[in-house]
């Protein structure tokens, strides 16, 4: 059965036309799904009984079951959702003074193999559909009653490796008749799939692009992130420059600081040279040590020195606040738990 939440508004109109229905029904259905957040077609009371029956027979609503919910002392909540085919995914809700932010997964498992990331031990199983991405937001809003204002694609998976579904999910998340979350409040984080960065620049969506850079030499980056064997730092930064020129949007570079690995002032100096003159911001993440991981957190002293060096040399850098570390929900800690 098709998932009704896989369609953006235009696609749903086309779908309804193809089954002999009027296109304006799509807007009514969108309203029920994303404003009223109903869980059954039966509740869509301004549709005829006949149409509701037709929808029920041909489409699913993809309502997730919560398999596990863990709440951190700082208010962060980690969900394990049953995605209805025997697999499970993790989603994290974070609360900030400016509102609620959700970290969504884009794939079940990941192919990228970054050495510091907990998702690496998981075999890649499949891409999530756009509806399965959107459902993470709906399920969390339904469970907490909170309206989410920011979406970050920083859960499990490489969003640009599931390009079409991720971009389509953004159309649904962003649409005024969909979840109505402004594109500027949506961030895509990538390990650096260069051709997809060029493609994204052409989409004309005003979302924020985050690049997981983490190292300043190709040798070091390839050691930490195998993707760097395919797309070198220079190619990656060229794609970023193109993205900035086309979209006029500031890029956010993520740099996870690991002790005695990439945290000294020579690294900071090289980072300044690489990013000089770019419209960007650096997000420093104290690396989270994963089970059997080879990298451990840089000292606070080094993290602060690193930040100060960047700021003093014209690169705006901030240290990311660690949320949810007591429930394994901090950056890079998400991993699909076994269902059994």
Active-site entry in 90, 141, 158, 254: 90
Task: Give the ranges where 276-340 is alpha helix by DSSP (H).
Answer: 300-312
Least distance to ligand SAH, CB of residue 312, Å: 24
Phi, psi of 96 (to 5 degrees): -120, 170
List binders of ligand SAH among 165-224 (CB under 6 A).
189-191, 212
Q: Looking at beta carbons, which residue is closest to ligand SAH?
A: 332
Say which DSSP state 258 is in: B
Q: Sign of dihedral through CA atoms 226, 227, 231, 232?
A: negative
List binders of ligand SAH among 274-313 (CB under 6 A).
285, 287-288, 290
Nearer to ligand SAH, 88 or 256 (CB): 256
Say which DSSP state 284 is in: E
331 forms part of the interface with ligand SAH (CB under 6 A): yes
Least distance to ligand SAH, CB of residue 112, Å: 6
User: Are the C-beta atoms of residues 106 and 57 closer than 8 Å to each other?
Assistant: no
Least distance to ligand SAH, CB of residue 189, Å: 4
154 forms part of the interface with ligand SAH (CB under 6 A): yes
d(CA 223, CA 289): 17
Instruction: Report angle CA 216, 219, 223 to the nearest 5 degrees.
Output: 100
Residue 122, beta-bridge partner list: none
- Per-residue contact track with ligand SAH, 247 to 276, x per CB under 6 A? -------x-x--------------------
* Alpha-carbon distance values, 204 to 183, 197, 251, 310 (Å): 10, 12, 15, 31
331 among known catalytic residues: yes
User: Are the C-beta atoms of residues 7 and 60 closer than 8 Å to each other?
Assistant: no
Nearer to ligand SAH, 12 or 333 (CB): 333
116 forms part of the interface with ligand SAH (CB under 6 A): yes
Q: How many residues bind ligand SAH, per CB under 6 A?
A: 18
Phi, psi of 160 (to 5 degrees): -80, -10
Q: Which residues are at the interface with ligand SAH (CB under 6 A)?
A: 112, 114, 116-117, 154, 158, 189-191, 212, 254, 256, 285, 287-288, 290, 331-332
Q: Give the active site residues.
A: 90, 331
């Amino acid at each position: 059965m098709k998932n009704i939440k896989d369609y953006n508004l235009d696609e749903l109109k086309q779908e309804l036309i193809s089954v002999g229905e009027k296109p304006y029904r799509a807007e009514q259905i969108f309203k029920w799904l994303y404003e009223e957040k109903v869980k059954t077609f039966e509740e869509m009371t301004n549709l005829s009984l006949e149409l509701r029956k037709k929808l029920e027979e041909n489409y699913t609503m993809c309502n997730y079951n919560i398999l596990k919910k863990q709440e951190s002392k700082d208010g962060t909540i980690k969900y394990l959702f049953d995605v209805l085919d025997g697999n499970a995914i993790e989603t994290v809700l974070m609360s900030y003074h400016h509102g609620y932010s959700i970290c969504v997964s884009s794939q079940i498992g990941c192919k990228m193999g970054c050495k510091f990331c907990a998702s690496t031990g998981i075999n890649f199983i499949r891409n999530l559909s756009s509806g399965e991405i959107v459902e993470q937001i709906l399920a969390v809003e339904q469970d907490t009653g909170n309206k989410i204002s920011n979406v970050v694609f920083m859960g499990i998976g490489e969003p640009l490796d599931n390009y079409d579904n991720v971009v389509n999910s953004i159309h649904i998340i962003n649409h005024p008749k969909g979840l109505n979350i402004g594109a500027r409040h949506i961030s895509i984080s990538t390990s650096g799939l260069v051709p997809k960065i060029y493609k994204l620049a052409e989409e004309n969506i005003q979302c924020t692009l985050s690049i997981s850079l983490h190292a300043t030499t190709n040798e070091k980056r390839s050691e930490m992130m195998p993707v760097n064997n395919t797309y070198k730092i220079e190619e990656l930064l060229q794609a970023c420059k193109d993205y900035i020129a086309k979209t006029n949007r500031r890029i956010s570079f993520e740099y996870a600081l690991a002790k005695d690995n990439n945290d000294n002032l020579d690294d900071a100096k090289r980072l300044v040279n690489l990013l000089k003159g770019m419209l960007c911001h650096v997000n420093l993440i104290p690396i989270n040590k994963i089970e059997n991981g080879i990298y451990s957190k840089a000292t606070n002293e080094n993290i602060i020195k690193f930040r100060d060096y960047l700021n003093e040399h014209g690169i705006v850098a901030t240290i990311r606040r660690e949320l949810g570390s007591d429930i394994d929900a901090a950056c890079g800690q998400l991993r699909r738990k076994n269902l059994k």
